[in-house]
Amino acid sequence: MPNKKTLAIYTAGGCGGCGQSLLLSPNFASLLDRVDLLFWASSASDLTDEEISTYDDRGIDLLIYAGTVRGNESIATANLLRAKAKRVVAYGACAHLGGLCGLANVYPGAQLRALPSADGQFVQPLSSVIDVDYILPGCPPPQEMVTRMVEELFISDVLPKEGTVFASDKAVCAQCDRKHVHKPLTSIRRFHAEPPDPEICLIDQGYICLGPVTRGGCGAVCLKSNRPCTGCAGPVAGVRDQGGAILHALASLVSFPGTDTGRKEHQVLDSIPDVIGTTYKYSAASSILKRRVSDGK
């Protein structure tokens, strides 16, 4: 095929799920027929900065970047790759939001101040260190979204506009068939202790589900498996802070009749286990918190 686009794939650390999601895509083979794959590096040991420097500036039509950005070396590599690529896709939750690895940003204050170079030590979303043209969210990105990315970037004659997120602008709830019963939230239930009713909205049952504040397009596969959404696709369009948004929603649902309601409401919200790990599971590094400084023990 003449005038093939050049493609490069770089994984900066993580679990490897993003690479598998791309390999398992039904149209991955057709993608390879349409591009010249310059490299697929799974770590700095596969491709050094010196080797990256040999590529022409803006000589890569599209770079898919997956994995975490943490430390000054990975920041430097990300900037070098950006200089070589015309367009960059932040692929997967780690590149998009910081991902699960972003929970490493939760330091007690004394440890935080003892770090030799605080900024370099923190996990960051890729967009905080370089310009990102497109985002493919998810942990790992689901096949529906991978297919959309391949079709729009490699098969369509017209590229999507910069800033496109290959997911829905609507929340995961839009793809969920569960029924609302509109019950006040009087306690937080744990999934491992009490299996939920598969027909009723999980939040209405007292489970923490991030479906209302998370981008859809995944087919709501977790909810259809009777498990809460944990937010891997990041905040829905219009939501700045994913964890803050779900906490606000939960607080608005807590209700007790009679007196002493304030204390009871606080007891419910205080019972949420590991607030940051639950409500900012993937987005801690890209939230308005970014990192936590606490002098608590």
**Interval 85-112: pLDDT, tens:** 999 999 999 999 999 999 888 866 666 5
Residues 183 and 142 in one domain: no
Instruction: Specify the pLDDT at position 53.
Output: 96
Residue 224 lies in a domain: yes
Locate the DSSP E strands across 125-172.
134-136
Same domain as 136, residue 102: yes
Does residue 272 belong to any structural domain of this protein?
A: yes
| Arithmetic mean of pLDDT, 68-90 | 94
Is the CB of residue 215 less than 8 Å from the CB of residue 172? Answer: yes
Of 40-54, 74-88, 128-142, 164-178, least confident by mean pLDDT is 40-54
Q: Report yes or no: 10 and 64 within 8 Å, Cβ to Cβ.
A: yes
Query: Is 280 part of any domain?
Result: yes
Tens digits of per-residue pLDDT, 249-259? 998 888 777 66
Q: What are phi and psi of 57, to 5 degrees?
A: -60, 130
In a domain, 50, yes or no: yes
**Helix H or strand E encompassing 49:** helix 49-52
| Residue 297 binned pLDDT confidence (cut-offs 50, 70, 90) | very low
Q: Which of 102, 129, 155 represents a domain boundary (last residue)?
A: 155
Q: Are 54 and 109 in the same domain?
A: yes
How far apart CA 224 and CA 40 sit, in angstroms, is: 34
Residue range 106-121: mean pLDDT, rounded: 62
Residues 190, 147, single domain; the answer is no
Cβ(22)–Cβ(52) below 8 Å? no
Residues 6+ apart with CB under 8 A from 274: none
C-alpha to C-alpha distance for 178 and 164, rounded to whole angstroms: 29
Q: What pLDDT is stored for residue 13 in this prediction? A: 78
The answer to the question of residue 164 being in a domain is no
pLDDT at site 270: 82
The total number of structural domains that make up the chain? 2
pLDDT per position as a tens digit, 198-209:
999 999 999 999
Write down the pLDDT at residue 204.
94
Whether residue 96 is found in the same domain as residue 207: no
Q: Decide if 135 is inside a domain.
A: yes
Residue 295 has pLDDT above 70, yes or no: no
Q: Is the distance from CB of 122 to CB of 290 less than 8 angstroms?
A: yes
Averaged pLDDT for residues 152-164:
92
What's the average model confidence in pLDDT over 205-216? 96
Q: Which domain holds residue 176?
A: 172-290
**Prior bond of 141 cis (ω within 30°):** no
**Residue 295: inside a domain:** no
What is the pLDDT averaged over residues 204-232?
95
Which pLDDT band holds residue 114 (cuts at 50, 70, 90)?
low
The whole-chain average pLDDT of the chain stands at 88
For residue range 30-56, list pLDDT tens digits in order.
Answer: 788 889 999 999 876 789 999 999 999
- Higher per-residue confidence, 111 vs 65: 65
Residues 115 and 234 in one domain: no
